Structure 1
Amino acid sequence: MTPGRDKHAQDELSAELLEQVLETSPINIVVVDPAGTITLVNGRTASSFEDETSMVIGESVFAPKWELTDPNGEPIAPEDHPVSRALNGEETYGMRLAVTLPSGERPVVRTNAAPIYDEAGNVVYAVATLEDITEMNRRQRELAAKNRQLESLASVLSHDLRNPLAIARGYTDLAQETGDLSLLEKVDAAHDRMEELVDSLLLLARRGHAIGPKEPVALVTSAYAAWESVETEGASFDVGTDLETVVADRIRLQQLFENLIRNAVEHGTTSTRTGREELADTVDHGDDEASVTITVRPLTATEGFSVEDDGPGIPELTTPRELAEYIDQSDDTKGLGLKIVHAIADAHGWTTTIGPGTDGGLRFEFDVSEAPDED
């Protein structure tokens, strides 16, 4: 065979092999001309478009019908379109996009795009590959959500275990100093509360729930149980005797009260941080004996209850909207207790309103009237 015939045979073999590669490729391959018009697709792509190659050949990759966005639904800027970048001589790898198919489905695809040059170095085509990663993207999002849930669980446990831990330490030290072993009953109670919190939150995390089984719970009982689990530092507690029963997760309801009491005590009886970023550390508390009073009362206009203190509140934040935004934007180092309160109430289906208290401090109202009675 002559060299010319050898080259011709090799060219035919290369063309045949290239066609087989295109048709058997497990990913979608699309070739686009400089105007953005689709000129070639492989069999996998045709299959993705309901086995009708004619539905895509001649279409523009920039057509609004594809509704190209990122996986979160944010539109892709024209200059960031992977084909636009390829036609401008840039290669892109691993870009994740959501695209609308003729069937109406919106798979998430991982896209690579690159320019094709002629002998003069001009971009004459762009080639893009699209791999359907919808399922992988879903699993990754679920894993990320699970990781955030575990991080939140760790933060909540770290935050809320400090209350009973401090109680246990305090009564242990006092028992050692006085020899009064009856004080160890308080230590046992604090340990029981820690175990209850850990078991409850871990179980909820495994099941992916925010609250556990609900039952009728007397608000008076829950409020006083929380009071016993928090270092009160000379604060006063005033619980109305006309409080009723609510349907709630007993452990989480007590956790709600604990965080409200702890927040009022910490920021009402000690020097604390200030400003929109920090709680005030320059608040004038008067004489050293001054303490905060926490009041729990039923709501009068609707079914529910309020928790109010007469401490310094949050300086410079005086409206319910400002206070709600402050709590919502707080990170793990500040405002976590109040975010826990809001999360517990929200999980129960209660409406939470926060505002300045009557005599300073903060007032939380929990409307339970619209909450479902059962899980």
Structure 2
Amino acid sequence: MTANESWSLPMERYPDPACSYAFEDDRAVVQASNEQFGRISGLSAGDPLADGFGEELPVLGDQPSFDRSGRCWVRDPDHRERRYLVRIIAPENDQPGHLVFNAVDQERESQNVGVDRVASVLSHDLRNPLDVARARLRAGRELESEEHFDHVEQAHDRMERIIQDVLTLARGEDVVNPEEVVDLDAVVRNAWQTVETNGATLDVVEDLPEATADRDRVTRLFENLFRNAVEHGPPETEEEHITISVGRLPDGLFVADDGVGIPPENRERVFEPGFSSDDHGTGLGLAIVARIVDLHGWSVRVTDSETGGARFEIVGLDPE
């Protein structure tokens, strides 16, 4: 959609905030808007958009959060559980630009994955095990080694788990069945074997508890935490590799690393679907962690590790 395409619905009848704007003296100025836009921004015709959103569009009170498409998110100041996906349609020729807001309920959003996020997972997370399977299949044929075919099978299993992760976000309870008493120590060590560690070290500092859980989903939970630590650790050198520690808490466990840590302002946002501090990330890894935790009736929080890295604490496990 461009600025010179027709507006199919009168702005005053659009159910969510919307405005048109143009540049005057190098400033973006509101040309027209509906009542909803005035409520969340405090702006009316003739006001600079910067007065309501800051110099960089848009967000009320916080720094802008853009996804890879150039869209951005704005929270409703009167309903903090609600936020808006904002499309910025730039002015073109003599036609004004538009800001078009679409309300997204936070609870509903956490249970659904947009088509663009599904595409990101299919193109990013599935590529690695698919490449492994292809390479191992080629080596197995050339060397006639059963070991390579075992790795092909493991790669296929991993792809199946990734597909289930998308369903975990999209369908929730339908794909998580916490009905088995699981040895979390064994789950952690098994998850570690499936992650590309890049020289990282796992340190299980004490025996972990058993808990009623869905083994497959909890395995994926630890895989994602390990992968997050490895991918966001310090730049790899011959002398420096990240160490990931897993230990027991009175009502749960922690996963900590000695990497660069997570800034306090991002510790809640890292669990939002689509949020990533890495330009190449899908923003789904920790969102899946939070979803699996929630569907087990547990809770997860982020803090600093003793070395200044990230520490994820999962509590409420009610160990067996």
- Cα 1:212–1:357 change in 2 (3 A) is same
After TM superposition, give the deviation of residue 238 of structure 1 in Å. Answer: 2.0
**How far is 1:268 from its partner?**
2.3
Structure 2 counterpart of 1:212: 176
SS of residue paired to 1:268: coil
- The structure in which a higher percent of residues are helix is 1
What residue is the counterpart of 1:358 in the other structure?
Answer: 306
CA–CA distance in structure 2, aligned partners of residues 311 and 200 of structure 1: 26
Match of 2:177, SS state, is coil
Q: Which residue in 2 is equivalent to 1:228?
A: 193
Partner of 1:324: 267
CA change 1:345–1:234 in 2 (3 A) is: same
Q: Could you tell me how far 1:367 is from its partner in structure 2? A: 0.2
Aligned to 1:297: 247
Structure 1 residues 208 and 292: CA distance shift in structure 2, 3 A: closer
Q: TM-score, normalised by structure 1?
A: 0.47
Q: CA deviation at 1:185?
A: 0.9
1:368 — aligned with what?
A: 316
Which residue number corresponds to residue 216 of structure 2? 251
Shift of the 161–254 alpha-carbon distance from structure 1 to 2, 3 Å rule, reads farther
Report the counterpart of residue 29 of structure 1 in structure 2: none
Q: Is the 8 A contact 1:164 1:230 kept in 2?
A: no
TM-score (norm 2): 0.54
Bigger-Rg structure (1/2):
1
Q: Please give the alpha-carbon distance, in whole angstroms, between the structure 2 residues aligned to 1:328 and 1:201.
A: 15
**Amino acid in the other structure paired with 2:177:** P
CA contact (8 A) 1:350 1:367 kept: yes
Q: Once the 2 structures are TM-superposed, how far is the Cα of residue 306 of structure 1 from its aligned partner?
A: 0.8
Unaligned runs of 5+ in 2: 1-34, 46-103
Moved more, 362-371 or 222-231: 362-371
Encode CA deviations 1:109-133: one digit per residue, 9 max, x unaligned: xxxxxxxxxxxxxxxxxxxxxxxxx
SS of the counterpart of 1:246? strand
Residue type of the alignment partner of 2:248: P
* Rounded Cα–Cα distance in structure 2 between residues aligned with 1:156 and 1:179: 33
User: Which residue in 1 is equivalent to 2:72?
Assistant: none
Pairs aligned (count):
222
For residues 151-300 of structure 1, the aligned pairs below 5 Å read 151-156=116-121, 158-162=123-127, 164-165=129-130, 167-169=132-134, 171-172=136-137, 180-199=145-164, 201-202=166-167, 205=170, 207=171, 209=173, 211-215=175-179, 216-240=181-205, 242-268=207-233, 271=235, 287-299=237-249
SS in 2 for 1:209: helix
Q: Deviations over 1:221-280 (max 9, x none)?
A: 2222222222112221223451111222222211111111111222226x4xxxxxxxxx
One-letter amino acid matched to 2:176: G
Using CA pairs under 8 Å that are at least 6 residues apart, name the structure with larger relative contact order, 1 or 2: 2
* Counterpart AA for 1:293: T
Q: Specify which structure has the higher proportion of strand.
A: 2
Give, in angstroms, the shift of residue 208 of structure 1.
Answer: 5.3
Q: Which amino acid aligns with 2:133?
A: A
Q: For residues 233 and 248 of structure 1, what CA distance do their matches in structure 2 show?
A: 29
- Tell me the residue number matched to 1:90: none
Report the Cα offset of residue 363 of structure 1: 0.9
Cα deviation 1:331-373 (Å, max 9, x = unaligned)? 59544322322232223222212122222321111002479x9
Q: Which runs of 5+ in 1 are unaligned?
A: 1-68, 81-139, 272-284
For the 8 Å contact 1:309–1:363, the answer to whether it is kept is: yes
Q: Which residue of 2 aligns with 1:348?
A: 296
Query: CA RMSD, aligned part only?
Result: 4.3
Alignment partners' CA distance in 1, 2:257 and 2:290: 17
Query: CA distance change for structure 1 residues 253 and 162 in 2, over 3 Å: closer, same or farther?
Result: farther
1:301-339 residue CA offsets vs partner (Å, 9 max, x unmatched): x2111111122334xx2xxx4341451562595443223
| 1:26 alignment counterpart | none
What displacement does 1:198 show? 2.2
8 Å CA contact retained: 1:160, 1:259: no
* 1:276 aligned residue: none
What is the alpha-carbon distance in structure 1 between the residues aligned to residue 232 and residue 128 of structure 2? 15
Shift of 1:181: 3.7
Task: Work out the percentage of aligned pairs sharing the same amino acid.
Answer: 41
Q: Counterparts of 1:227 and 1:171 in 2: how far apart (Å)?
A: 20
2:164/2:175 contact within 8 Å kept: no
1:168–1:295: structure 2 CA closer, same or farther, 3 Å change rule? farther
